[in-house]
Amino acid sequence: MENNKISGAEAVIRCLLAEGVDLVYGYPGGAIMPVYDELYKFQDQLHHVLVRHEQGAAHAAQGYARVTGKVGVAIATSGPGATNLVTGIADAQIDSTPLVCITGQVGKHLLGSDAFQETDIIGISTPVTKWNYQVTEAHEIPEIIAKAFYIAKSGRPGPVLIDITKNAQFDTLDFDYKKCTGIRSYLPKPILNLQKVQEAADLINNAKKPFIVFGQGIILSQAEEQLKRFVEKSGIPAAWTILGLSALPTEHPLNVGMVGMHGNYGPNILTNECDVLIALGMRFDDRVTGNLATYAKQAKIIHFEIDPSEVDKNVKTDVAVLADVKESLTAIIPLIDKKSHDSWHNEFKEKYKIEFDAVINEELIPTNGKGISMGETIEMINKHSKGDAIMVSDVGQHQMFACRYAKFNSSKSNVTSGGLGTMGFALPAAIGAKMGQPNREVVAIIGDGGFQMNIQELGTIFQTQVPVKIVVLNNEFLGMVRQWQELFFDNRYASTKMINPNFVAIAEGYHIKSKRISQREDLDAAVAEMLASKDSYFLEVMVEKENNVFPMIPTGASVSDMRLS
């Protein structure tokens, strides 16, 4: 690209275009105004979505990134604009979502003076970003933004924040953009050790009761096809973490369900009976392992992982295969024997029957004469979406019901806040997901508590006319906290009962077609009408108030101690 003098603000836009960005989420303010002035000039090439709160910008960028595999971009001003991004950035960091967040900052000469809307966003965001940097001179902009995109996307993805002082936006530079292809001392992925692959293959081939747990690493490395081939050749039962959900079709015969606190009974109980546990692109989160002192102590542990810091962090491994999981699976598939493990699979089927009889059947087809259940609502969405929708769930009981019962045919279909557990995530993330995959149906599953945390993003839906489908499962409680209060705090419902507004009236205030149902016989037609709508649609389902999510592993308990009631 030939050299030419342009402003730092224009350079920001030209850098984004050079990285293939065509969509950004943000909210303007004084310290970022020069960039917004350039956005106005380039609006035919770079679409800006005006959110109603900067947290919404970060979550929308996450939703976009999660369903496309691209880097999501959020822009905010200094001070409160920047600090409002932090929750979304922290969420992206723990869930390995590639974001580039650009914030404005007061002029270089005012730094450290407590100027109007000055906040040390570099200091604040350092613990929750993969990398951050403050630009104080215009000439730095191309190199720093190129590095930001490379770091956000490479290796284990994550969020990057670039803070740009106002003088750097106004000053000029000779613009020349070169994409970053490497940084000295930064090794995004380890070099695959074929000896470790062979050691892993030997353990797998000699195992009598091998068990696979796969996580989001499969989706991030685009290793879905390799996972399917690995599972089908080895015949090993495979379970998923909530962020691994949809990497293998839900109905695949070797898919045995979800591990974790509210996962399926079989995969959790049998974790402590397998002889080889193969962890693929997952980090042994405490919600998956329960009490580490009793987790899979009888098993040899094989950990396929891209981030060396995750190996032996929580669970001691016998063989660590450090590499991009797509690369390591490709290498191991020729080395493993073709098997079926029929009797081992039968143990999972027996445990599923126990869970079905004790929990699932009543959840999906209630006969207790009580109100609509969350599980049957998810099942009704399955019926009408036929497993082809993207489901974006918020955080709470409805999230666990969605993850337990949603059916998915293809990858990148489950978008939720995993590690941080951010209430308010789903509404803006669904906006980003629908904009990233406009040809797929996107359904947000939200509780009445989480819905009110970012309810203002209904305004973004109205202004952009993005046809998101919103389902609020309203039990008039902060349901997950209430469940814990019932089970572990003697029914003391401290500050968990919700006195809610008229959600339908609010949605209609934003000109979104809306419906509220409370009778089971209305559920089928309401879901059908919602999914048939070409426009955005809000459906409030009044569900059973004190319905609990089971099975459940109590905090600090072993996976062997999973409760069915």
Q: Catalytic one among 70, 130, 153, 166?
A: 166
> d(Cα 428, Cα 201) in Å, to the nearest integer?
43
375 phi/psi in degrees, rounded to 5? -60, -45
Catalytic residue among 116, 170, 488, 489: 116
Joined tokens for residue 251: 């109905």
Name the segment(s) of the chain with CATH classification 3.40.50.1220. Answer: 194-346
Catalytic residue among 38, 54, 118, 305: 54
pLDDT at 3: 58
**Nearest by Cα to 70 from 13, 135, 22:** 22
Give dist(CA 169, CA 31) in Å, integer: 9
Task: Catalytic residue, from 480, 530, 552, 562: name it.
Answer: 480
How do the pLDDT tens digits run along the chain, 565 residues long? 455 799 999 999 999 999 999 999 999 999 999 999 999 999 999 999 999 999 999 999 999 999 999 999 999 999 999 999 999 999 999 999 999 999 999 999 999 999 999 999 999 999 999 999 999 999 999 999 999 999 999 999 999 999 999 999 999 999 999 999 999 999 999 999 999 999 999 999 999 999 999 999 999 999 999 999 999 999 999 999 999 999 999 999 999 999 999 999 999 999 999 999 999 999 999 999 999 999 999 999 999 999 999 999 999 999 999 999 999 999 999 999 999 999 999 999 999 999 999 999 999 998 888 899 999 999 999 999 999 999 999 999 999 999 999 999 999 999 999 999 999 999 999 999 999 999 999 999 999 999 999 999 999 999 999 999 999 999 999 999 999 999 999 999 999 999 999 999 999 999 999 999 999 999 999 999 999 999 999 999 999 999 999 999 998 999 999 999 9
116 is catalytic: yes
According to the model, what pLDDT value does residue 132 have? Answer: 98
Active site residue 209: no
Tokens at residue 446, please?
């939200």
Q: Among this protein's residues, is 54 annotated catalytic?
A: yes
Let me know if 480 is a catalytic residue: yes
One-letter identity of residue 105: Q
Q: Does domain 2-174 have CATH number 3.40.50.970?
A: yes
Check residue 369 and give its pLDDT.
80
CATH number of the domain located at residue range(s) 365-542 in this protein? 3.40.50.970
CATH of domain 194-346: 3.40.50.1220
Clarify whether 208 is annotated catalytic. Answer: no
Rounded Cα distance, 98 and 71, in Å: 5
**pLDDT of res. 299:** 98
| pLDDT for res 1 | 46
Active-site choice (33, 108, 117, 486): 117
Helices (H), 42-174: 54-68, 80-94, 121-125, 141-153, 166-170
pLDDT at 366: 87
Q: What is the pLDDT of residue 332?
A: 98
The dihedral over CA atoms of 139, 140, 145, 150, expressed in degrees to the nearest 10, equals 130
- The answer to whether 450 and 423 have CB atoms below 8 angstroms apart is yes
**Cis before 249? omega within 30:** no
Residue ranges, comma separated, of all CATH 3.40.50.970 domains in the chain are 2-174, 365-542
